[in-house]
Amino acid sequence: MVEEHKQEATTESSAATGTETPAAKNAATDAPAAPAAPRRGGRGRGGDRRNNQRGGRRPRRGRRGERPRQEFEQKIVSIRRVTRVMAGGRRFSFSVSMVIGDKKGRVGVGVGKAGDTQLAIEKAVRDAKKHMITIPMNKDSHIPHDVHAKYASSEIMIMPAPGRGLVAGSSVRTVLELGGVTDVTAKIFSRSKNKLNNARAAVEALKQLKA
């Protein structure tokens, strides 16, 4: 009993003074060690990503493929919605007038009609390609002489004007611009506001050119 009281007293005194007894040291060494927490910069999830970013660069994504350049440039001259009255009601369709050209001497005017705008545009492009003409010009994109033409109610005249650039209005300017003609002056003698007729009159005038 006396020895037990001595041991209790020694343990209490060691706890008070902060020193460990040999028995407590042996118990601490016999206990299994707790697993160490993973380091942030080690092989954890975040560590792997950071190491990958530091060690090797990510492969760059390839650039998006550029669209192939079209052979002809397109420009809508006029677009109209046409209404037909049928027994069951009204039916709507679209009429599109289109001018296409490569700005190197080739130009055409076409018309397309369909119930959808996109389909009408495709038809107009096909029609313009069928009626394509080649403009005779010199190396400076100048026309050789004056031309005068009349189509339906439209009447125009195209004259060469060196150094003045492209002076034209309405759809005549569109035809000359997409045809690649420069340094010309165009005059519309009629009062017609029909852009399709003006464009076709310009094409008829360009057909009269002779190299």
With respect to residue 11, please indicate whether it lies within any of the assigned structural domains. no
Look up residue 69 and give its amino acid. Answer: R
Q: How far is Cα 124 from Cα 116, in angstroms, rounded to an integer?
A: 12
With respect to residue 93, please indicate whether it lies within any of the assigned structural domains. yes
Cβ neighbours, 10 Å, residue 168? 22
pLDDT in tens, 108-135: 999 999 999 999 999 999 999 999 999 9
With respect to residue 149, please indicate whether it lies within any of the assigned structural domains. yes
Q: What is residue 70's predicted lDDT score, i.e. its pLDDT?
A: 78
With respect to residue 106, please indicate whether it lies within any of the assigned structural domains. yes
Domain containing residue 107: CATH number: 3.30.160.20
pLDDT in tens, 126-159: 999 999 999 999 888 899 999 999 999 999 999 9
Interaxial angle between packed helices 195-207 and 170-179, expressed in degrees from 0 to 180 and rounded to the nearest 10: 40
Q: Which of 86, 83, 147, 138 is nearest to 115 (CA)?
A: 83
Q: How far is Cα 70 from Cα 52, in angstroms, rounded to an integer?
A: 44
Alpha-carbon torsion 144, 210, 188, 95, what sign? negative
Q: Which residues, in sequence order, are bridge partners of residue 155?
A: 150
With respect to residue 26, please indicate whether it lies within any of the assigned structural domains. no
With respect to residue 62, please indicate whether it lies within any of the assigned structural domains. no
Full-prediction pTM beyond 0.85? no
Q: Which stretches does DSSP call E strand in 115-209?
A: 133-134, 147-151, 154-160, 166-167, 184-188
With respect to residue 92, please indicate whether it lies within any of the assigned structural domains. yes
With respect to residue 157, please indicate whether it lies within any of the assigned structural domains. yes
Q: Which domain holds residue 95?
A: 73-207
Number of domains the chain contains: 1
